[in-house]
Structure 1
Amino acid sequence: MKILLAVDGSDYTDRMLSYLAAHKEWSGAGHDFTVFHVVLPVPHRAAAFAGPEIVHGYYEDDARMVLEPVRGLLARNGIEARFEHRIGHPAEEIAAFAQKGKFDLVIMGSRGHGALTNLVLGSVANKVLAACTVPVLLVR
């Protein structure tokens, strides 16, 4: 199974990774994992003021800070994965990457707001569910 692990460095990502590590059937043969992180874009005016080198460095640093702990945790649990990151809006990028990459499943953590909070604020997980044609497993 080709599985996309959407991560953001939050406690909810940690819960999802702990779930994955605790269920050894996920690390079994036949699964192909890709860890995916989306870095929010720097506002246009801030990017113009800072310059392309600083902005590019920011994007790379953000991705490294999120992906390196995940890389270590997966390695300790014997799970091999590829690592990717993009710049953009998380829900849109996750759904597009999952569909273009022909993944069988997206796994991601979810905060688990109540229905009213999700209605008012929305959530990345809800937006991924709405936009993605690939099945999504949310871990709370």
Structure 2
Amino acid sequence: MKILLAVDGSAYTKKMLAYLSTHEALISGAVEYTVLTVQAQLPTRARAAVGKQIVDDYYREEAEKVLAPVTKFLARHGITPERASKVGQPGEAIAKFAEAGKFDLVVMGSHGHSSLGNLVMGSVSTQVLAHCKVPVLLVR
């Protein structure tokens, strides 16, 4: 089984990891894990002002801040995941990555906004569900 863990470093990521650790079927050695974080793209003018190298370094550093603790958590459970980071709209990027990688399941934490909150703020979870053909497990 191939599982994609979509993470953003928030408290909701921690809750998702806690959920995984209590469900042996999801946290076993027979599962291949990939941890993915998606950074929102900086505005065009900002990217042009600071240059490509600085922007690329920024994206890499921000991804590492999210991926390092998750990788460490999984290592404590005997799991060495693949790691990936993307830049773009998180919901769409997660869905595309899941389909391209032929994952069996996407697991992610959900902020649990109300319908009004989703309308005003949007929701990565809602976008993943709308774009993804891979089953998604949301942990609230």
Which TM-score tier does this pair reach, normalised by the shorter chain? over 0.9
What's the TM-score, normalizing by structure 1? Answer: 0.95
Structure 1 Cα separation of the partners of residues 95 and 114 of structure 2:
23
Identity in percent: 54
1:60 corresponds in structure 2 to 60
Paired amino acid for 2:136? V
Q: Matched residue of 1:41: which SS? A: coil
Cα shift readout 1:27-78 (whole Å, capped 9, x = no counterpart) = 2242111000101111110011101111111011001100001111110122
1:135 corresponds in structure 2 to 135
Gaps of 5+ in 1: none
Within 5 A, what are the aligned runs for 1:1-140?
1-140=1-140
Shift of 1:80: 2.4
Aligned residues of 2:3 and 2:32 also touching (Cα < 8 A): yes
Structure 1 Cα separation of the partners of residues 89 and 96 of structure 2:
11
Gaps of 5+ in 2: none
Aligned residues of 1:27 and 1:78 also touching (Cα < 8 A): no
Q: Matched residue of 1:25: which SS? A: coil
Cα shift readout 1:70-100 (whole Å, capped 9, x = no counterpart) = 1111101222210000111100100000011
**Residue range with higher mean Cα deviation, 100-109 or 20-29:** 20-29
Paired amino acid for 1:84? A
Structure 2 Cα separation of the partners of residues 100 and 68 of structure 1:
24
